[in-house]
Amino acid sequence: MPFAANYRLKYCLVQRPTTMENLTTCLLFPLVCLICSQALLHLRSWLFNKKKLPPGPTGFPIIGNLLAIGDTPHESLAKLAKKHGPLMTVRLGFVPTVVASSAEMAREILQKNDQAFLGRAMPDAVAAEANFELSMVWLQGDTKWIKLRKICNSQMFTTQRLEALQGLRHQMMDTLVLKVVEASETGEAINIGRLVFGTTLSLLSNTMFSADLIDQKSNSIQELKEHVGTILEILGKPNVSDFFPLLKPFDLQGIRRTIKVSYDRLHTLLDEVIDRRLKCRTSASPRCNDFLDALLDHGEEHGPQEFNREDIKILLTDMFIGGTGATTTTVEWAMAELLRNPRIMAKAKQELAKTIGLGLRTIQEKDILRLPYLQSVLKETMRLHPTAPLLLTHRALIDVQVCGHPIPKDTPVIVNAWAIARDPMYWDKPGEFIPERFMAGGSTEVDFRGTNFSFIPFGSGRRICPGLALGVRMLSLLLASLIHLFDWKLPDGMAFDEIDMRGKFGVAMQNPLVVIPNLVVTKANE
């Protein structure tokens, strides 16, 4: 603390503690001085680096371009990119940030210079999670991160293991269909997001540790949905601590305090699961040979220094948050788009009837490859409504040049996947829902693997989503099961074009999709 400020504080506290107003003023004075001095330092650094970084919009003192970003940053940044170019710099408070808004720039960041951009710019909210520094999502592309990726690729998401556990996923689909049939018989309206979340939770739980995380019939399912939803929403919420790092210790918006409750609850549930499994492994109980057994085996083989219980818990937490949130959001958007486009819905149902038949047979993963139009519907949904419109922010680990522009070490870099997926340079009629664009004669080479940089809903390069293969299987099974044997209508006589298609940033639809199913009676199931 500067000497003058320190002296004034001591003088006020000792010599003039006469009023609360004087005391408050004296306590705030050093903080204001510190903030102003930091603002000047950051402004000086910004002016110095401005010549080096890619060009961008001129901002205001201290706050930079924050006012221009607003509540829908993916849309605002897309508009700014049209004026300032596909590689631009915006200043978010004290944080200069580079934004890539074209497929070519995405390729530069995620493929050509992927080693340089393996770092992550971690939101302050993440620090509320116990042992967050072990998370594969937020690790900085170091040795620990490489080891965790290898564990996922070799122990969890291999084709052999996914196929071995598909019977469990088929059972979950049977349960889903029965729930919809029951609702059809009673005329009950179904909250699609809640139904899909519960089923996705069961899918992930049974794939990872051969059991449900919680009782699907209890009220806890809604509690857990709210906790996961809270985590996803807060992580996408603007946080003053991310823009002005000096303010992090104060948590002015209470974001860390709020999100910590949800993280702690999820950790408690996973601790209980791990405890039960460890107890079973010390008894004569048969092995489950699921993800959890594979992770525990790896820990026993390599020792706690490399992979221990906390690593397992954080890894499972990452999978549940990423898997349940993204899957629920995507299926809800897909259903909304299909309901608003009856021609497309009819075409998808026709493909299912021809391939699967009209009986109450479980749709299996082997059927998915024979459903190209359904796959196109999913791709088009994720193009228009990516669950991570700005992906996760990368961070330069070293000084690097991108298209002639120097990007200094530690600079955050955003890839605007939303802007790329709606760019008329790559897509005809980009604002319309047209699954046919992914069919024969269209963009047939575009898949989920991030090799075509105009379509990267799961990311691309070394930091692509590790659960991509499982995620695509789950999405396909869920959507196919919901539309195969059921027609749907909105409650209270609403028309499908009245569905609110606004979305919260990176989370879900503005309003939940609630619809009434009707089981289609056919000769096959009469």
What is the residue-averaged pLDDT of the chain?
87
User: In the predicted model, is pLDDT for residue 15 greater than 80?
Assistant: no
Domain identity same for 388 and 510: yes
Tokens standing for residue 140: 């900085």
Q: Please tell me whether 465 is known to bind a ligand.
A: yes
Residue 526 within a domain: no
Q: How many domains does the chain have?
A: 2
Q: Are 323 and 228 in contact (CB under 8 A)?
A: no
Domain identity same for 301 and 421: yes
Q: Interior CA angle at 230 toward 225 and 233, to 5°?
A: 120
pLDDT at 410: 95
pLDDT at 361: 78
Tokens standing for residue 39: 């603002």
Give Cα 476 to chain centroid, integer Å.
18
Domain identity same for 33 and 165: no
**End of a domain among 50, 73, 88?**
50
Residue 524 within a domain: no
pLDDT at 503: 76
Domain identity same for 260 and 111: yes
Domain identity same for 204 and 325: yes
pLDDT tens figures, 144-178: 999 999 999 888 888 898 888 888 889 989 999 99
Residues 6+ apart with CB under 8 A from 429: none
Domain identity same for 82 and 165: yes
Measured CA to CA, the distance from residue 133 to residue 314 in angstroms comes to 9
Mean pLDDT of 179-207: 92
Q: Are 418 and 390 in contact (CB under 8 A)?
A: yes
Domain identity same for 38 and 68: no
Domain identity same for 13 and 146: no
Least confident of 220-224, 232-236, 275-279, 478-482: 220-224
Domain identity same for 24 and 123: no
Here the CATH number for the domain that contains residue 406 is: 1.10.630.10
Distances in whole angstroms, Cα of residue 398 to Cα of each of 44, 48, 114, 249, 344: 22, 18, 11, 27, 47
Measured CA to CA, the distance from residue 515 to residue 189 in angstroms comes to 5
Residues 6+ apart with CB under 8 A from 374: 348, 351, 352, 368, 476, 479, 480
Least confident of 77-81, 231-235, 297-301: 231-235
Domain identity same for 69 and 179: yes
pLDDT-based confidence at 18, cuts 50/70/90?
very low
pLDDT at 27: 47
Give the count of beta carbons closer than 10 Å to the beta carbon of residue 271. 12
Residue 435 within a domain: yes
Measured CA to CA, the distance from residue 203 to residue 152 in angstroms comes to 18
pLDDT tens figures, 504-514: 765 566 788 99
Residue 267 within a domain: yes
pLDDT at 101: 98
Q: Give the range of the structural domain holding residue 294, as residue numbers without chain letter.
A: 57-519
pLDDT at 219: 65
Residue 525 within a domain: no
Domain identity same for 97 and 221: yes
User: In the predicted model, is pLDDT for residue 473 greater than 60?
Assistant: yes
Query: Coil, strand or helix: which one is 395?
Result: strand
Closest CA to 68 of 83, 53, 54: 83
Domain identity same for 67 and 195: yes
Residue 236 within a domain: yes
Residue 465 within a domain: yes
Give the count of beta carbons closer than 10 Å to the beta carbon of residue 348. 23
User: In the predicted model, is pLDDT for residue 301 greater than 60?
Assistant: yes
